[in-house]
Amino acid sequence: MASYLFRNVQIWDGDKDDPYPGEVLVEGNRIKAVAQGRDQLDSINAAEVIDGGGQTLMPGLVEGHCHLSFVGPARNQDLGEIPPEEHLLRTMRNATFILNHGFTSCYSAASAKLRIDVVVRQEIEDGYLAGPRYRAAGPEITVTGGLGDERKQHINAESFGMIADGIDEIRKAVRICCREGVDNVKFNVSGDEFVGHARAEIVSMTEAELTEGVRVAHDWGKRVACHSRAAESVKRAVRAGVDCIYHCDFADEEALDMLEAVKDRVIVGPAFGLVHNSVFEGDVVGLTRDVVERMGLPRKLEHTIATYHEMRKRGMKVVVGGDYGFTVTPMGQNARDIGHFVKFFGYSPAEALRCATKVGGELMGHKDELGVIRAGALADILLVDGDPLEDLSLLVGPDHFSMIMKDGAMFRDPRQRSVGAHRIAAE
């Protein structure tokens, strides 16, 4: 059983706002001890002592709205046109890529094809594929005409949606996902600005359909997430017992009150990266200012900013994860969300970083043992060259991670930094 003693590090533990000088002992896949100050922990015989050189030791990042199988589509239906063999291989590459960017855990918000997430998760767990801890999802369960239904009357097309209409079909769709081994089930309750026939403020799934889907998923021991942009879709999600509600852009006062009443149980996530990049950087993929205005994206941006300012004030649990994986939101930018929380939502750097670590750990099903540096916690640890609380951009891209440890195992070893091994892994 490998053990490591980290000395001469600044610890940001996910609990306190400020880092402190200290030491951390890892044994196996757990943190054995954490101490403030120098020379507080004895090096046991088996421990390899690593001098951190004053770098920041912090929990691994958690992607709370992950789409590993979204491999750069410009349109939703592009995902349906990728042959499954190529799609699987590209998803596997994304798994290693995102781990190399400091995300040691990912909560899937949907798989583009039914079994891709499940297969990738198993390859990671079995030790054949380098990747993050991964909670696998199935496709996004939607209804005819909802987000994810790319069909036309004269032609069939697929994307990331699994179409089910009525209570019986919803129940069957959930059971199929559970049979195939998913960890998470997701429902699309509202539309989206990227869907011409079902914009964001359209509520596409009935409350009866959603309630039955959540009930069946919970019966199978699965966590449930949903896509809910419209105010009424948020309310339906709360009443149905959804565990994680994404977006909530147009939540009204009643919806916010309902979310606040269940804030100890429900986690929310804005998935802000897609909105941000489309509005401010969309021209690089053909989303001109005129197109963006016609789609109503600036209005959505304003509502999202106002909503999450209010959520922060109300103490709601919010995760990062910005719908990365599309052409306009390339994988690898994921940690930009942390800075977005500060710039647009009014979070302090420590609060935003906590959304990317401790809150994400709870979403992953490991409350108080993932996304934190404390005795007994899982040893998912980063060593960052610099102070991310002073400069959150250090967390975007792999260059400043001198160490990436997942489950007590070195994916990037700081002792090899001098010979450029971390740069080789990034290429």
Per-residue pLDDT, averaged over 340-350, amounts to: 98
pLDDT in tens, 104-161: 999 999 999 999 999 999 999 999 999 999 999 999 999 999 999 988 899 898 899 9
Of 320, 351, 325, 354, which Cα lies nearest the Cα of 337? 320
Distance CA 198, CA 27 (A): 52
- pLDDT, residue 264, reads 97
The answer to whether the CB of 395 falls within 8 A of the CB of 60 is no
Give backbone dihedrals phi and psi of 28, rounded to 5 degrees, phi first.
65, -130
pTM for this predicted structure = 0.95
Answer yes or no: are the C-beta atoms of 142 and 162 closer than 8 Å.
Answer: yes
Question: What is the predicted pLDDT for the residue at 420?
Answer: 40
Q: pLDDT value at position 46?
A: 76
| pLDDT tens readout for residues 36-50 | 998 888 887 778 999
Query: What confidence score (pLDDT) does residue 140 get?
Result: 97
175: which residues sit within 8 A by CB, 6+ positions away? 216, 220
